[in-house]
Structure 1
Amino acid sequence: MNIPKIELHLHIEGAAPPAFIRGLAQEKGVSLDGVFNEDGSYRFESFNQFLSVYEAACTVLTGPEEFGRLTTAVLEQSIEQGVIYTEAFLSPDFCGGGDVGAWREYMHAMQEASAKLPQIEMRGIITCIRHFGPDQAKTAAKCAAETAGDFITGFGMGGDEMRGKQGDFAYSFDMAREAGLRLTTHAGEWGGAESVWQAVRDLGVERIGHGVQSIDDPRLVDHLAEHEIVLEVCPGSNVALAVYPDWHSHPIEKLRERGVKVTVSTDDPPFFHTNLGAEYDLLGHHFGWDDEIVRDVNITAANAAFCDDATRKNLLKKLEPAS
C-alpha cells in the first residue's frame, strides 16, 4: 500500500524500539529486570503491567540527548511505514520532571532531531499523566503553554483512564486552550462511553484518543458524528490490551459507517508488535478497507492534524491520487 500515512496518536517513549532501550541501559549500567521477555520484546500481561513496564523503560531516558536519539529512532520507523506526518505525545514528567527550563532543552533536542529527517513532519502534543493527579497536570500544562508554537501544537492527557474524572483536569486544559493549543485526551478506551461524554463536556476537546467504547452509546455516536469530533483509533493496541478480544470485534468500522470521523494510529507500536502498515493490512483483511477508504481516513487525519494551514495543504496535496 503506497498511500502516504498520517499518524495522530503515538507516544514517543512507547514507540521506543526495545533494542534502543536495552542499548541505553547497557551504556548506563542500568538493570531493567522484568521489562523484557526472553525474545527481547517488552513484557506485560495487563494494562497496569504495561504502564509499569513503560515507566521502567523510561528510567534510562534521562537527558535531552537521549530523547533526541529516541526521536530519530522513532521517526525512522515511521518513515519505513510511509508516514509523512506524525504527532507524538511528549510528557514533561519524563522530560525534566516538569521544570519549564529543563523541558525546553528536551523539546529542542527532539525538534532538532525531527528537523534532520525531511521525509516526515513531526509535531508535539504535550500530555499530562492522569494517574499523577490534577496538580501535577498543571505543571505539564504550564510547560505546554510556555512552549506553544510551531512544534508544540497540542495538549492532551494519557495514563490510567480509571483514575478520577476528566473534569478534574479542566484547569490544565483551560490553561492550554488559552495558550492557543489544540486539545485531545484519552477516553473511551477503559472508562466506557461516559468517559468520552466527560471529555467532550468538561474539557471541550476536538479529538479523542481511542474513544472506541463510544460505540456502546448510540446517542454519543450521533453526537461525535454531528460535531465532527475525531477519534484517534489504535486497533492493534486495543486488541493487544484486550479492550476487544479480537480484530473482528473491534468497532472501528461500525463507527466509521455511522459517520464518526476515525483515524488510525499505533499508540505504542513495539509494545503491541505492530506498525502502521500492519494496522492497515489487518483493517483490509477484517473489514475490507480498500485504497479509497485508506486514503479517505488519512485525509480525515490531515484535516484533524494540529498543524498550520500551510502544512495541512501540503499533506492533502500528497494524499491526492496519482493522475
Structure 2
Amino acid sequence: MPHTEESLAAIADMPKVELHLHHEGAAPPAFIRGLAQEKSVNLSGVFDARGGYAFAGFERFLRTYEAATSVLQSPEDYARLTTALLEECARNGVVYVESFLSPDFCGGGDLGAWHEYLHAIRDAAERAERDMGVTLRGVVTCVRHFGPDKARLASRCAAETAGDFITGYGMGGDENAGALKDFAYSFDMAREAGLRLTVHAGEWRGPSEVRSALDDLGVHRIGHGVRAAEDPALVDRLAEAGICLELCPGSNVALGVYERLGAHPIERLRRAGVPITVSSDDPPFFHTTMRDEYLNLARTFDWDEEEFGALNRTALAHAFCDADTKKKIADRLEAP
C-alpha cells in the first residue's frame, strides 16, 4: 500500500539511532562560515553560490572537508561544533548518535591536546543530553590517507581515553590509499584497550576490501561496505557473522557510488540477513538529514514503521555503548 502523508510523517518523526556521523562533516555551512569570519580565514572555493559546501566527486569532497575543518582550531570551537551538530540531531529525532572524532583534527595527534579537546566535546555533549535528550558517544578515527604512523598516534589517543564516552576506534579517509593490513597495529592497540572496532571499507574498493576489513583488522562493524553486495558468498559471511554495516544511502548517491537510491543494495542486504543501519555520514555536504534518509527509503523501498523500528533496534544492538546506556536508549525508542 502506498504511503500516506500521515504514515510518512510518522516515519520521519520516529526516534532514531545513528552510528555513522563525522563530527566535522556534520558542521552546518553557516557555522563554518561564521568561524572563518571570526578568525579571518579565507575559505574561498569551499562554498557554492547557495552557501552550501562546494565539491564534485570524492577527492574534491575530501579537500573541501579538510579546508572547512581548518577553522576548527581550539577545544572551544569543538564544543560549539558539538552543540551545533547535536541540535541538528535533536531536530531529526536522533536520540543516540556515535560520531567519528579524529585526534588529527583535535590537536594534531598530541595526547595532551587531545585530552583538552575531548573534555570540551564531552562537556558540550553532557549539556545536550540534559537539554535536548540526545546521547553522544565518540568513536576515535585515524585518517587513512594520513598514513599508518599517524594512525598509531590516533590509536594511542583512543587507548588512553577509552571508557564510557570513547567507546570505539575506526578509520575514515581515502579508501584508495594504502592497504588495510598496514593499519593492523593501531587497530590491535585499540582492541587491547577494550574499544570496539569499525572501518570505512567497501565504498570505493570492491568486496575484497570488505574481506580485508574482517581478516586483517577484525572489525565488529563496517562503514558503508556496500560493495560486498557484489559477492554473494561475502554477503552470506556478513550475515552469519553478524557484522553490522553502517549504511549511508544518501551519501552513496551524492558521491556517485550509485546513480540513484533505487539502485542502492540496502534492500538486498537487509533481505539477505545482514545487520544494517542507516546514517547520514556528512549530512550538510550531501544535502541530507536523518529525516530525509528515512523518508527517501520509505518512498523508494516502501518500508513501513515496523521495518524502521527493526532498523533502530539493530542499530542499538550494534552500538558501541555500555549496557546501561543501551537500556536508556531502548526506553526512548519505545516511548509513545
* Pair in the same fold by TM > 0.5: yes
The yes-or-no answer on 1:222 pairing with 2:243 is no
After the TM superposition, which residues 137-176 of structure 1 pair with which residues of structure 2 at under 5 Å, given as runs? 137-176=151-190
1:112 corresponding residue in structure 2: 123
1:290 corresponding residue in structure 2: 304
Q: Secondary structure at the match of 2:24?
A: coil
Identical-residue share of aligned pairs (%): 61
After the TM superposition, which residues 129-208 of structure 1 pair with which residues of structure 2 at under 5 Å, given as runs? 129-208=143-222
The amino acid that maps onto 2:112 is G
1:126 corresponding residue in structure 2: 140
The amino acid that maps onto 1:208 is I
Gaps of 5+ in 2: 1-10
Compute the displacement of 1:317 (Å).
Answer: 2.4
Compute the displacement of 1:301 (Å).
Answer: 0.4
Q: Which of the numbers 92, 100, 121 marks the counterpart of 1:89?
A: 100
Compute the displacement of 1:187 (Å).
Answer: 0.4
2:63 corresponding residue in structure 1: 52
2:315 corresponding residue in structure 1: 301
The yes-or-no answer on 1:246 pairing with 2:257 is no
After the TM superposition, which residues 302-317 of structure 1 pair with which residues of structure 2 at under 5 Å, given as runs? 302-317=316-331
The separation in 2 between residues aligned to 1:281 and 1:188, in whole angstroms, is: 25
After the TM superposition, which parts of structure 1 deviate over 4 Å for at least 4 consecutive aligned residues? none
Compute the displacement of 1:321 (Å).
Answer: 6.9
Gaps of 5+ in 1: none
The separation in 1 between residues aligned to 2:330 and 2:117, in whole angstroms, is: 30
Q: Which of the numbers 85, 90, 94 marks the counterpart of 1:74?
A: 85
The separation in 1 between residues aligned to 2:252 and 2:81, in whole angstroms, is: 24
The separation in 2 between residues aligned to 1:269 and 1:146, in whole angstroms, is: 30
The amino acid that maps onto 2:285 is F
2:7 corresponding residue in structure 1: none
Task: State TM-score, norm by structure 1.
Answer: 0.99
The yes-or-no answer on 1:269 pairing with 2:283 is yes
The separation in 2 between residues aligned to 1:319 and 1:133, in whole angstroms, is: 39
The separation in 1 between residues aligned to 2:140 and 2:264, in whole angstroms, is: 28
The amino acid that maps onto 2:303 is W
Tell which deviates more after alignment, 200-209 or 313-322.
313-322
Listed one character per residue, the Cα deviations across residues 52-101 of structure 1 (whole Å, up to 9, x for unaligned) are 00000011000000000000000000000000000000000000000000
1:5 corresponding residue in structure 2: 16
Q: Which of the numbers 30, 35, 38 marks the counterpart of 1:24?
A: 35
2:44 corresponding residue in structure 1: 33
The separation in 2 between residues aligned to 1:6 and 1:79, in whole angstroms, is: 11
Q: Secondary structure at the match of 1:319?
A: helix
1:103 corresponding residue in structure 2: 114
Instruction: Tell me the matched-pair count.
Output: 322
The separation in 2 between residues aligned to 1:270 and 1:110, in whole angstroms, is: 20
Compute the displacement of 1:123 (Å).
Answer: 0.3
The separation in 2 between residues aligned to 1:73 and 1:321, in whole angstroms, is: 25
Q: Secondary structure at the match of 1:300?
A: helix
Compute the displacement of 1:165 (Å).
Answer: 1.2
The amino acid that maps onto 1:114 is A
Q: Secondary structure at the match of 1:127?
A: strand
The yes-or-no answer on 1:211 pairing with 2:225 is yes
2:3 corresponding residue in structure 1: none
The amino acid that maps onto 1:91 is S
Compute the displacement of 1:3 (Å).
Answer: 2.0
Q: Secondary structure at the match of 1:281?
A: helix
The amino acid that maps onto 2:148 is P
1:279 corresponding residue in structure 2: 293
Q: Secondary structure at the match of 1:52?
A: helix
The separation in 1 between residues aligned to 2:331 and 2:99, in whole angstroms, is: 22
Compute the displacement of 1:313 (Å).
Answer: 1.4
